[in-house]
Amino acid sequence: MYLMAYSTLRVNFPSTFPMIPRRSSYPILHSFSPKPPILNLRLYSSPLRIPKLISHVSSVQEAFGSAISLIQSSPSTWESALASNLLIFLLGSPLLVAGLSLSGIAAAFLLGTLTWRAFGPSGFLLVSAYFIIGTAVTKVKMAQKEAQGIAEKRKGRRGPGSVVGSSAAGCLCAFLSIYGFGGQAFSQLWLLGFVASFCTKLSDTVSSEIGKAYGKTTYLVTTFKIVPRGTEGAVSVEGTLAGIVASIVLAFLGCLLGKINTFEAAICVLASQIANLGESFIGAALQGKKGFQWLTNDVANVINISTGSVMAILLQLALQKLNM
């Protein structure tokens, strides 16, 4: 009776039930124990795919967790340094391309890996800050500097020679720290030399680029003769002050990151200014002169930064002896 009445209602009085379609997509019930309709979904037709999907998700989660654990490993390892640099360089590629040539990026990758291995993420962050500030000031008034013929080549994009010259002293300090040269007593000295080397280079870059862009009067450091902007060995008040501020900023960042203390930061700033003054004398007296064609800007950078690094270490050793 029930089935008959139900069928009769559907066939004889369709207009009475407008919500019920004439041709239902569901099968007509034939019993009092209705069965659920079979949906045409691949998920239901292939139930074995669910465990496989869960397995794939678990594998991705495990791989991601392993990568994070590797990056966060302390102390840093070569594996964690390589993985961290690869990830950071991929994410920061637009900025790297703006400031470095392709070969310069390769050299910077080696520097970054070495820095992470020696001094961890905080050391890497310090070098990153140096790169970002240095790249930014190089781009300041680029059109004006290009018109005057005093701009850096390739619109300020540094090559491998510049990267190596800027980081040679820092890399040496990193190697000495990794392999424990001098034992625990010297570990902080290598870190101090590392920070001082980049304070020196950043101060040199900022003073040079700001002096080219905004220096009203530039003097040759050996004779105080007024010379055009961009002359080797020339200094300006604007550039010198900017360079001092840059070294203070990077040294202060080293303090915030826990790499050096306040007193060591002051040593880094003092050493960087002594080294930069020495480089100005070298540039004015020797660079471009007969018999000194080998003294290129990259070579001068190595001398300058090495001087700043060594000066900071010697100052710290001298002060330690005085306090003994």
Mean pLDDT by runs of 10 across the 324 residues of the chain is: 43 49 49 52 52 57 48 71 90 85 88 93 94 92 87 76 86 94 91 97 94 90 88 90 97 95 96 94 85 85 94 94 80
Cβ proximity of 258 and 221 under 8 Å: no
pLDDT, position 3: 42
pLDDT, position 232: 84
Which sign does the torsion angle of CA 227, 229, 234, 236 carry?
positive
Buried b (16+ CB within 10 A) or exposed e, 220-229: bbeeeeebeb
pLDDT, position 102: 86
pLDDT, position 22: 52
Terminal Cα distance for the chain, rounded: 110
pLDDT, position 128: 93
Angle between helices 102-138 and 184-214 (to 10 degrees): 60
CA pair distance 137, 213, nearest whole angstrom: 9
pLDDT, position 177: 94
- Please, is 275 exposed, middle or buried when counting C-beta atoms within 10 Å of its C-beta (0-12, 13-18, 19+)? buried
104 Cβ neighbours under 8 A, 6+ residues apart = 157, 158, 159, 160, 162, 163
CA pair distance 322, 324, nearest whole angstrom: 6
Residue with tokens 């010379």: 227
